[in-house]
A and B are shown apart, each in its own frame.
Chain A
Amino acid sequence: EPEVTQTPSHQVTQMGQEVILRCVPISNHLYFYWYRQILGQKVEFLVSFYNNEISEKSEIFDDQFSVERPDGSNFTLKIRSTKLEDSAMYFCASSAPGGAGNTIYFGEGSWLTVV
């Protein structure tokens, strides 16, 4: 079964450093997402991306975050200057075109630890 793959699975970074999390969505999907889960808390929506632009974003997704689909297969999340509170599991996800009933498929996550 096709799956969303994410790299790295775990990254430790120093506060203030830039981090790029990478994702390869399912090949025929056109909607891409990032979610995050701070330890012990709920999964939170960050951003959705369609047709090479952000289609929706949450208040969490401020100027320190950016997303990009640089080469038609990868989908990346960049955090420019990491803060301690950015420590979380970051999930990439994708879905096929069609409608809100379509399933969103999640990757296994990238665990980011900011020290």
Chain B
Amino acid sequence: AQSVTQLGSHVSVSEGALVLLRCNYSSSVPPYLFWYVQYPNQGLQLLLKYTTGATLVKGINGFEAEFKKSETSFHLTKPSAHMSDAAEYFCAVRPLIQGAQKLVFGQGTRLTINP
């Protein structure tokens, strides 16, 4: 079964500092990979996704993530944190199985930005 591990349930960085949110997955076949963000009292919004092609993918709000098959990782980064980035971030995978449509989520990482 697919699973997703997000290292660190809480990450705190200073405004302007690098943001690094870690995500590792377990799968015999590399799945499709997604990062979603949840702002307070809102739903889940797609930040970026990797399906095929270039392993470094760029998303909204200056975020990017790199798929590393050898490390089974899909870490999310942003060079310079902004106060508005404070939110909960979820890594998710979608198995490459015929007919499978569901997303499997990690437990989430709450990002706090310090002024």
Contacts from A to B (Cβ < 8 Å): 4, 31, 33, 35, 41-45, 48, 50, 55-56, 58, 91, 93, 95, 100-101, 103-109
Contacts and interface: CB of A to CB of B under 8 A. Distances in A.
Contact of A43 (B42, B90, B94, B96): B90
Q: How large is the interface on B (under 10, 10 to 19, 20 to 34, 35 or more residues)?
A: 20 to 34
Nearest to A103: B46
Contacts of A33: 101-102
Contacts of B100: 56, 100
A31 to B, nearest CB: 6
Contact of B44 (A31, A56, A95, A106): A106
B43 interface: yes
Contacts of A95: 101
A43 B44 contact: yes
A50 B100 CA distance: 11
